[in-house]
Structure 1
């Protein structure tokens, strides 16, 4: 039971942007995907969500090729929060969150779907925005409302199998407090039996909230493991071009990465 990329290559136009790579996220864990700009992180999410088909290899959802799943059944198990979500209509925040219930909605709607949408807004600290027009919200507020939509989509576990949540840079437009709130929700989703893959730029957030970290560079996965095993000064210098000190603290679940400056360019 997992969401797995097996030897996938992802192309955009005539260029390969990711792969070949293999990666698996399992129920009960948060997997953080990190890497420099252009490493292929968003392309990996696009492949895992079915937005992009793989040129070689394939993505498997619970042992079955992703493209073989009926769209409705797949949407009841797999939700994705992209980097940007455009919406030009004057829907309220509550109506946007309620869109997540579409894969579950019965003909004529169901009052419980609206209750779930409200609960999802509450989980993302956007309940006070329920009646506001989505187009009037700030970037961070929109991101949290979109997360509420995805949480509402996956709120109800399927009768068989698990739920999978893909987050592409979910903290990019958020203030410090809400960055932690969003990842606390991801952590709670995993503890409730779901699987989470989150693309993150902040290595300290990845260390704090992830069970495992996958490091991508030039479209390939160069290292996967626990935060303490992956976040080493040598790997960070070689992948990100940054000199760091990595400190272990007993009061934190993962190591603390302290930037020291750009690493010298290789000779």
Structure 2
């Protein structure tokens, strides 16, 4: 059981923007997709979510092509948090979280739906915002409420199969404490049998919270493996154009990436 990209390519016009890519997301893991700007990270996530037309290859959800799934059944297994989520209605934060229950709901939300929404708000430190109108929230608060929505979407246990959560730069608008809180929530989701793919820019956050990294450059996966296997000075220098030092601290999981020399910002 997995979510897999098999020889996936995405073309825009006559240019190939992604691929070919082979990648497997397994239940029980957090996989961080990292790489420089324009590497194809968000394009890969969109391809895995079934949001793009593929130029070649296929994406399989538990062995079945994405377009072979009934929309409701697929939504019970696969949820996506985009970089930005617009909402034109003055829903409360609780109502936004309840939107994630749409694949499960009958005509009206049940007590189980409300419980799932509140649990998701608690996991993202937004339960105290439940009655607040969504448009009045800060950017970081909105991002966390949207994460609560997708967590609520995948909260129901499945009799068969697993749950897959795709996060596109989930920490971009968050302060330091909430960056770690959100990725810790992703880790709990994985420990409970789910699978998480997160596009991240911060290599140290990726090393701290992910089981595996996939490093993209030029639309291709140039390396994948544990943080220790991927975060090598030579590979980072080649991919990002920056000399770095890899450090370790006792009791702190994962390697830490530090610039080898300071940059003179005044020049």
What range is the shorter-chain TM-score in? over 0.9
Rounded to whole Å, the distance in 1 between the matches of 2:186 and 2:108 is: 31
Q: TM-score under structure 1 normalisation?
A: 0.96
- Name the counterpart of 2:50: 50
Looking at structure 2, the residues matched to 32 and 139 of structure 1 have their Cα atoms a distance apart, in angstroms, of 23
User: Which residue of 1 is the match for residue 106 of structure 2?
Assistant: 106
Instruction: Provide the rounded CA distance (Å) in 1 between the counterparts of 2:228 and 2:149.
Output: 33
Match of 2:29 in 1: 29
On the 8 A contact 1:242/1:261 being kept in 2, the answer is: no
| Aligned twin of 2:80 | 80
Instruction: Give unpaired runs (5+ residues) of structure 2.
Output: none
- 1:5 to partner: Cα distance: 0.2
Give the SS at the match of 1:186: helix
**Does the alignment pair 1:248 with 2:248?**
yes
Does residue 4 of structure 1 match 2:1?
no
**Paired residues for 1:115-134 under 5 Å:** 115-134=115-134
Q: Deviations over 1:57-112 (max 9, x none)?
A: 00000111111111000000000100010111111100000000000002233121
Aligned to 2:65: 65
Question: What is the deviation of 1:53?
Answer: 2.2
Contact 1:124 1:148 in 2 (8 A): yes
Indicate how the Cα distance of structure 1 residues 13 and 71 shifts in structure 2: closer, same or farther if over 3 A, else same.
Answer: farther
Where does the alignment leave 5 or more consecutive residues of structure 1 unmatched? none
SS at match of 1:207: helix
CA contact (8 A) 1:77 1:157 kept: no
Deviation at 1:242, TM superposition (A): 1.1
Cα distance, 1:125 vs structure 2: 0.3
Q: Provide the rounded CA distance (Å) in 1 between the counterparts of 2:28 and 2:258.
A: 29
Q: Say if 1:242 and 1:262, in contact at 8 Å, map to a contact too.
A: no
CA distance in structure 2 between the partners assigned to 1:261 and 1:66 by the alignment: 46
C-alpha RMSD over aligned residues: 1.3
CA, structure 1 residues 111+253, in 2 after alignment: closer, same or farther (shift >3 Å)?
Answer: same
